[in-house]
Structure 1
């Protein structure tokens, strides 16, 4: 299955970019709330905006909107959704309290066979504008899988690098996961429903949001490198809320190392010149 992007429908969502929401997220991260009307938003904070609320009957078993139908993502018959990674190009700063438009299109939707069975590979492209100017282009990669086979061996995650020049330890409480889900209007039950995460999707605990890990890496990259021009990231192993992790950086490369040395996410950042 593939998609012709030239004729693909677009989804347009507008948002006033409420500064209180960004300030609340800063507080949830343990940062000093500093965002006010007119403030430049930190990178990736647009995830807090452009909600598309749907009634309960329009949601799937996992709490996400059902695929197929009028949505951008087709139903490929694979129930487990994962945010696999993405790429961002920062053209101009997004500012809080200013109306913005987000246009989303489906760039790719195809079914493949991987080591663990059938996969649905989806790429969405989002463009965000304020006052008529393109501020951000984002490519958002999703993977859909079958339900896990309890008898199948667990996949072996890659080992993370240990040559970092900068390292920051981070931890994730169930409260933080709940607050991030609420601020991003993300209903995926793997982040707050332990029974569902363990018994249906086969995880060992509540799963830390992939974009929350990417958010930490982006904030670290901007702190060390200055404003970003581009950022790309790829998830490689889920992190549970009961696990601490280390944010690592060496040059343009960043990664998240789990407590057992596994790589949970890798990323590359490019600063503005």
Structure 2
């Protein structure tokens, strides 16, 4: 049965969640990034740091063999799901404030089945509006790609070659080690085993090593702006292009050009792992 047939009639209703944008997770991620707290009570939250909030903690028995929930509101009803974080967009009307309760209204924005080089894939976009004090402050769209079951044609090779270099004025070298991946998994309630269970990642998913989180790569690109640019981010568009595996050195780099900036994560051998474009106020 094709994935398109299995998704026929799947149209989940919007969800509404509430959470306080508390200072604790902000301080914790700041420490993981070797920084002082990025924001304190009453101060603006950096873009996309709301990923530390509105977390879901399913019961242990509700997790699948891969560590992901077996079922979920916006998880497509296909067998043996394998999920990849593909990219997204975000618009910041005004930053969320730390210490203030926020409301998140999430909807299924789009779902499409496409034929790729490794077979059928399902592209799902979830759109979320984040509000504080009745005002829409952030609109966040996240793209996921799902495949069904095993794929013997999928082959990933670890990067090889000289360490990445760049002539850009903004640069942030990052060592990807298991401790970094473990702490980020804990901060984002991400139990996907590809990020911490090496035998599972290599023997079941057939990766050459633990996989660095896509959202972490996006936040690292935004670190360039937060550390080096006083103008706030008004919008961003980001794309994940190639996995980074634990132990591979990467260089996060970019440069402003007027009211925008182009950002990237580069690895050994000249590979580009992620890209982003931000618009500045």
Superposition TM-score, scaled by structure 1 size? 0.89
**2:22 pairs with one of 18, 27, 34:** 18
The 5-angstrom pairing of residues 87-126 of structure 1 reads: 87-126=89-128
Quote the residue 1:209 is aligned against.
Answer: 213
Structure 2 CA distance for aligned equivalents of residues 103 and 86 of structure 1: 17
Structure 2 residues not aligned, in runs of 5+? none
The 5-angstrom pairing of residues 217-232 of structure 1 reads: 217-225=221-229, 226-232=231-237
Structure 2 CA distance for aligned equivalents of residues 156 and 182 of structure 1: 25
Quote the residue 1:261 is aligned against.
Answer: 270
- The CA deviation at 1:201 is 1.1
- The CA deviation at 1:246 is 0.6
**1:142 pairs with one of 133, 144, 148:** 144
Counterpart contact for 1:40–1:94, Cα < 8 Å: yes
Counterpart contact for 1:117–1:146, Cα < 8 Å: no
- The CA deviation at 1:82 is 0.6
Quote the residue 2:239 is aligned against.
Answer: 234
Q: Does 1:46 align with 2:50?
A: yes
Quote the residue 2:85 is aligned against.
Answer: 83
| Paired residue secondary structure (1:270) | strand
Quote the residue 1:184 is aligned against.
Answer: 188
- The CA deviation at 1:155 is 8.2
| Paired residue secondary structure (1:260) | helix
Structure 1 CA distance for aligned equivalents of residues 209 and 139 of structure 2: 33
151 and 105 in structure 1: CA distance in 2 versus 1, 3 angstrom threshold: closer
Quote the residue 1:243 is aligned against.
Answer: 248
Structure 2 CA distance for aligned equivalents of residues 186 and 17 of structure 1: 19
Structure 2 CA distance for aligned equivalents of residues 42 and 262 of structure 1: 28
| Paired residue secondary structure (2:58) | coil
**Count of matched residue pairs:** 267
Structure 2 CA distance for aligned equivalents of residues 59 and 197 of structure 1: 17
Structure 1 CA distance for aligned equivalents of residues 91 and 8 of structure 2: 23
Counterpart contact for 1:147–1:200, Cα < 8 Å: no
The 4+ residue runs of structure 1 with deviation greater than 6 A are 2-5
Structure 1 residues not aligned, in runs of 5+? none
Superposition TM-score, scaled by structure 2 size? 0.87
Structure 2 CA distance for aligned equivalents of residues 21 and 162 of structure 1: 32
Query: RMSD between aligned alpha carbons?
Result: 2.5
Structure 1 CA distance for aligned equivalents of residues 225 and 153 of structure 2: 40
Cα distance per residue 1:21-62 (max 9 Å; x no partner): 111110111101253221211111101000122112222222
| Paired residue secondary structure (1:103) | strand
Counterpart contact for 1:168–1:248, Cα < 8 Å: yes
Counterpart contact for 1:20–1:35, Cα < 8 Å: no
Counterpart contact for 2:193–2:200, Cα < 8 Å: yes
Structure 2 CA distance for aligned equivalents of residues 141 and 152 of structure 1: 21
Quote the residue 1:58 is aligned against.
Answer: 62
211 and 34 in structure 1: CA distance in 2 versus 1, 3 angstrom threshold: closer
Counterpart contact for 1:78–1:120, Cα < 8 Å: no
